[in-house]
């Protein structure tokens, strides 16, 4: 399996499964955002940037085991060590957490003597991520993956622009690692509403440029010698404005020859990706988007994470502009699509 | 029966086999339509050959793209979906999706194909065509989809339902069983259950999702693009258990029509509740999305429970509910 290869091969052909992972670290990276490193002692199947995992955001296993004595504060004397603890009679009464898993892009991955580790970055937005935020080193997490397709590195290209907005940053970090290994050049574009929502590690003494010049100011990219443009909507750090402002400045300064070698890779909120796709198209630069959709299973059965993709073959319908489209699943046909095929 | 026997644990493995109107299953566990795709999707995560039966998603005569997204939203202890019967259509199902199911069937699970339609002719043609295949053990009629405009036309009208079921039954290969999936979105479910049985349903499955809605309070719009959706998951289990109990006592038991119970089944305890209420089969739906291996885990828990209860067969639990008004089966010691 290679980034250079076609990404339409079903991911399951490369192996995937359910794993018992252990928390190695769960570190606050900025306001509301955590980097969660999960250890898989038995290893993890091959994965590529763009792919994701589904995390069970609740204690793994069935809840019908022994009642956790710590819930009963002060009542521990009711039984002696070695006694069988009381058993939960009504499983649903222990359900204080999410029903469905939560999908997270892989933000990084490594393999060593202790198996494999997977990094994800999560933002606390609800009951599932709040549970994740409380995880401590050694805690167990139920993980399914790797799921979905991946970014591809087209032949003849050698420059990647990694445009990540908000929680769209994680797959870009993983991709940076792959681009470095493939000998590509890259520039990171990192945007958020405001400075304290930027889920990156800043290089000490190298603040981002206020005019949008790419500097080695973000650790996640500078470790591969890639510079970064930082934008904030409120101007609290880096260039004032949306991420597309920084990208436009960069694309406009590119020579025609450079543009021909460039691919934009993007992940973030849909309106942002749509704007990035338009901008890339207007500069005749290829663009791949990694979409985010609400999903129940992540494995291709529930049919909820559909995206309208231009498809002359077996179309489900035709747009007002006459473009034939078909619903594709973000979980198994995606999450990575060619931007020009996405009907926003 | 079965009370106070926890101390005399048996070493014999209890039988899990059930017979649904002649449809013999190695165990009562199956997938709920629409939650396990066409079977292959979960292949990496669960050994489907351990199921008693596999139920496909709804198949319609034509290809259906489904509803606009967003199609799902999680709610407290459940989820709402409005997929809109997205499926590959009859021709592609027969050509591409059925052959892998036929291979899976050789290893154990019986194959039940769920069928939906717009009109009586539509249902009759689709069901008749699919039922002609010898490897299709049963057709489940979806007359209870809350997420397409005509999804509930038949499921809420006893007279129409009886007519539909009768005509579909006639069009099917005789050995292929007919299951009718009931909607909870009716005034009196015993009326639709009775109509289905009178029309010729050999098995009832219940329940489909509850029509429901959730609202984004900032946008002041429904969270689902479809406006409404079907509520499933642990949130509806007590509602489903009650309806199974009611239909079992009022219609199914006397008519000798087995029930496939479903609605929020997630743990083996849930499965036991449905069995006691009168279900002979058990379908797992929403829980599969979070853990495709749920039915296998339930199977293990259920086996252990039967052993502890001193039951030789899972059939001893079916309808074994004792009401508080019943005389106690055995006096306390």
SS3 for chain A is CCCCCCCCCCHHHHCCEEEEEEEEEEEEEECCEEEEEEEECCCCCCCCECEEEEECCCCCCCCCCECCHHHHCCCHHHCCCCCCCCECCCHHHHCCCCCCCEEEECCEEEEECCEEEEEEEEECCCHHHHHHHCCCCCCEEEEEEEECCCCCCCCCCCEEEEEEEHHHCHHHHHHHHHHHHCCCEEEEEEEECCHHHCCCCECCCCCCCCCCCCECCEHHHHCCCCCEEEEECCCCCCEECCHHHHHHHHHHHCCHHHHHCEEEEEECCHHHHHHHHHHHHHCCCEEEEECCCCCCCCCCCCCCCEEEEECCCCCCEECCCCCEEEEEECCCCCCEEEHHHECC
Q: Which residues of A touch B288 (CB under 8 A)?
A: 297, 301
CB contact under 8 A, A62 and B297: yes
Structure-model confidence comparison of residues A70 and B151, the more confident one: B151
Around Cβ A32, how many Cβ atoms within 10 Å?
16
CB contact under 8 A, B267 and A62: yes
The model's pLDDT over A134-160, given as tens digits with 9 standing for 90+, comes to: 999 999 999 999 999 999 999 999 999
Q: In what order do the strands lie in the sheet with B72-75?
A: B72-75, B78-81, B229-232, B210-212
What pLDDT, on a 0 to 100 scale, did the predictor assign at position A78?
59
Instruction: Domain A159-292: give its CATH architecture.
Output: 3-Layer(aba) Sandwich (3.40)
Which residue of B lies nearest to A101 if distances are taken between CA atoms?
Answer: B290
Active site residue B311: no
The answer, for A144 touching chain B at a CB cutoff of 8 Å, is yes
The model's pLDDT over B114-135, given as tens digits with 9 standing for 90+, comes to: 999 999 999 999 999 999 999 9
B57, B65, B79 ranked by CB distance to A100: nearest: B79
| Model confidence at A12: pLDDT above 70 | no
The model's pLDDT over A176-198, given as tens digits with 9 standing for 90+, comes to: 999 999 999 999 999 999 999 99
Q: pLDDT band at B5, cuts 50/70/90? A: very low
What pLDDT, on a 0 to 100 scale, did the predictor assign at position B153?
81
Mutate to test the interface with B, among A59, A94, A141, A297 (most CBs of B within 10 A): A297
CB contact under 8 A, A306 and B71: yes
Q: pLDDT band at A6, cuts 50/70/90? A: low
Measure in Å the smallest separation between the Cα of B69 and chain A Cα atoms.
6
CB contact under 8 A, A12 and B44: yes
Considering only the top CATH level, what class is A11-61+97-147?
mainly beta
Q: What does the pLDDT average to over B50-72?
A: 95
Q: Which residues of B touch A17 (CB under 8 A)?
A: 44-45
CB contact under 8 A, A306 and B63: no
Q: Indicate the burial class of A82 (C-beta count within 10 angstroms; 0-12, 13-18, 19 or more).
A: exposed
The model's pLDDT over B250-273, given as tens digits with 9 standing for 90+, comes to: 999 999 999 999 999 999 999 999
Question: Domains plus CATH for chain B?
Answer: 18-316 (3.20.20.70)
CB contact under 8 A, A294 and B78: no
Which residue of B lies nearest to A90 if distances are taken between CA atoms?
Answer: B269
Task: Tell me, yes or no, if the two domains A11-61+97-147 and A159-292 fold the same way.
Answer: no
The answer, for B237 touching chain A at a CB cutoff of 8 Å, is yes
Q: What does the pLDDT average to over A11-30?
A: 86
CB contact under 8 A, A100 and B74: yes
The model's pLDDT over A70-117, given as tens digits with 9 standing for 90+, comes to: 545 555 555 566 666 556 566 666 656 788 999 999 999 999 999 999
A296, A326, A332 ranked by CB distance to B289: nearest: A296
ipTM of the complex: 0.89
* Percent of chain A at pLDDT exceeding 90: 80
Measure in Å the smallest separation between the Cα of A247 and chain B Cα atoms.
29
Cα(A228)–Cα(A243) distance, rounded to whole angstroms?
12
Q: Please tell me the least confidently modeled range out of A44-48, A87-91, B101-105, B221-225.
A: A87-91
B65, B71, B86 ranked by CB distance to A317: nearest: B65
CB contact under 8 A, B65 and A302: no
B35, B63, B269 ranked by CB distance to A64: nearest: B269
Which residue of B lies nearest to A126 if distances are taken between CA atoms?
Answer: B74
| Model confidence at B9: pLDDT above 60 | no
Q: What does the pLDDT average to over A276-292?
A: 96
The answer, for B147 touching chain A at a CB cutoff of 8 Å, is no
Q: pLDDT band at B147, cuts 50/70/90? A: confident
The answer, for B202 touching chain A at a CB cutoff of 8 Å, is no
Q: What residue segments make up the domains of chain A, in order of their start? A: 11-61+97-147, 159-292
* Percent of chain B at pLDDT exceeding 90: 85
Which residue of B lies nearest to A146 if distances are taken between CA atoms?
Answer: B44
What pLDDT, on a 0 to 100 scale, did the predictor assign at position B7?
46
CB contact under 8 A, A17 and B291: no
Q: Please tell me the least confidently modeled range out of A21-30, A54-63, B102-111, B297-306.
A: A54-63
Q: Which residues of A touch B43 (CB under 8 A)?
A: 12
Q: Which residues of A touch B296 (CB under 8 A)?
A: none
What pLDDT, on a 0 to 100 scale, did the predictor assign at position A58?
87
The answer, for B43 touching chain A at a CB cutoff of 8 Å, is yes
CB contact under 8 A, A327 and B289: no
Q: pLDDT band at B317, cuts 50/70/90? A: very high
Q: What does the pLDDT average to over A259-269?
A: 96
| Model confidence at B275: pLDDT above 50 | yes
Q: What is the mean pLDDT of chain A?
A: 89
The model's pLDDT over B16-26, given as tens digits with 9 standing for 90+, comes to: 999 999 999 99
What pLDDT, on a 0 to 100 scale, did the predictor assign at position B151?
73
Mutate to test the interface with A, among B35, B44, B223, B285 (most CBs of A within 10 A): B44
pTM assigned to the model: 0.91
């Amino acid at each position: 399996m290679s980034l250079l290869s076609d990404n339409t091969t079903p991911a399951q052909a490369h192996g995937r499964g359910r794993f018992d992972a252990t928390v190695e670290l769960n570190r606050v990276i900025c306001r509301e955002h955590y980097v969660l490193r999960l250890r898989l002692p038995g290893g993890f199947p091959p994965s590529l940037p763009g792919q994701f995992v589904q995390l069970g955001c609740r204690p793994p296993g069935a809840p019908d085991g022994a009642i956790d004595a710590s819930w009963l504060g002060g009542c521990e004397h009711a039984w002696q060590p070695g006694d069988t603890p009381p058993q939960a009679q009504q499983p649903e009464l222990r359900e204080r957490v999410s029903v469905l898993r939560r999908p997270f892009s892989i933000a990084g991955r490594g393999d060593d003597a202790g198996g494999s580790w997977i990094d994800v970055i999560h933002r606390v937005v609800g009951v599932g991520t709040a549970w994740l935020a409380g995880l401590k080193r050694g805690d167990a997490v139920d993980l399914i993956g790797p799921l979905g397709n991946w970014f591809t590195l087209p032949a003849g290209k050698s420059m990647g622009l990694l445009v990540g907005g908000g929680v769209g940053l994680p797959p870009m970090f993983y991709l940076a690692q792959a681009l470095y290994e493939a000998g590509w050049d890259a520039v990171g574009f990192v945007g958020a509403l405001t400075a304290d929502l930027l889920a990156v590690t800043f290089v000490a003494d190298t603040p981002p440029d206020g005019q949008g010049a790419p500097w080695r100011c973000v650790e996640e990219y500078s470790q591969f010698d890639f510079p970064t443009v930082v934008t904030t909507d409120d101007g609290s750090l880096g260039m004032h404005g949306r991420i597309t402002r920084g990208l436009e400045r960069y694309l406009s300064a590119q020579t025609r020859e450079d543009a021909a070698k460039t691919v934009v890779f993007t992940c973030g909120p849909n309106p942002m990706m749509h704007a990035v796709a338009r901008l890339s198209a207007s500069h005749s630069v290829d663009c791949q988007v990694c979409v985010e959709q609400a999903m129940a299973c992540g494995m291709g059965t529930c049919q909820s994470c559909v995206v309208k993709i231009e498809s002359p073959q077996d179309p489900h319908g035709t747009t007002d502009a006459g473009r034939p489209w078909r619903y594709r699943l973000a979980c198994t046909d995606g999450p990575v699509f060619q931007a020009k095929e996405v009907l926003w | 029966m079965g009370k106070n026997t926890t101390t005399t644990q048996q070493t014999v493995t209890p039988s899990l086999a059930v017979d649904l109107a002649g449809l013999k299953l190695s165990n009562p566990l199956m997938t709920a339509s629409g939650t396990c795709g066409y079977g292959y999707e979960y292949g990496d995560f669960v050994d489907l050959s351990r199921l008693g039966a596999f139920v496909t998603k709804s198949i319609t005569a034509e290809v259906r793209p489904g509803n606009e997204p967003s199609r799902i939203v999680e709610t407290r202890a459940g989820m709402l979906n409005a997929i809109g019967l997205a499926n590959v259509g009859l021709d592609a199902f027969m050509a591409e999706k059925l052959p892998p199911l036929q291979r899976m069937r050789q290893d154990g699970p019986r194959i039940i194909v769920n069928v939906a339609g717009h009109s009586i002719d539509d249902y009759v043609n689709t069901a008749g065509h699919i039922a002609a295949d010898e490897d299709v053990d049963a057709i489940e009629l979806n007359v209870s989809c809350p997420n397409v405009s005509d999804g509930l036309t038949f499921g809420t009208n006893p007279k129409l339902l009886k007519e539909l079921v009768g005509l579909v039954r006639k069009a099917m290969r005789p050995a292929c069983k007919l299951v009718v999936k009931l909607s909870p979105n009716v005034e009196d479910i015993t009326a639709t259950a009775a109509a289905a049985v009178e029309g010729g349903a050999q098995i009832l499955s219940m329940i489909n999702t509850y029509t429901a809605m959730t609202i984004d309070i900032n946008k002041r719009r429904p969270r689902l693009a479809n406006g409404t959706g079907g509520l499933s998951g642990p949130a509806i289990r007590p509602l489903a258990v009650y309806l199974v109990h009611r239909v079992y006592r009022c219609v199914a038991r006397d008519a000798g029509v087995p029930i496939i119970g479903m609605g929020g089944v997630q743990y083996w305890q849930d499965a036991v509740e449905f069995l006691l209420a009168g279900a002979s089969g058990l379908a797992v739906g929403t829980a599969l999305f979070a853990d495709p291996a749920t039915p296998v885990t339930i199977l293990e828990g259920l086996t252990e429970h039967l052993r502890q209860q001193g039951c030789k067969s899972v059939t001893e639990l079916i309808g074994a509910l004792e009401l508080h008004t019943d005389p106690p089966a055995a006096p306390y010691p």
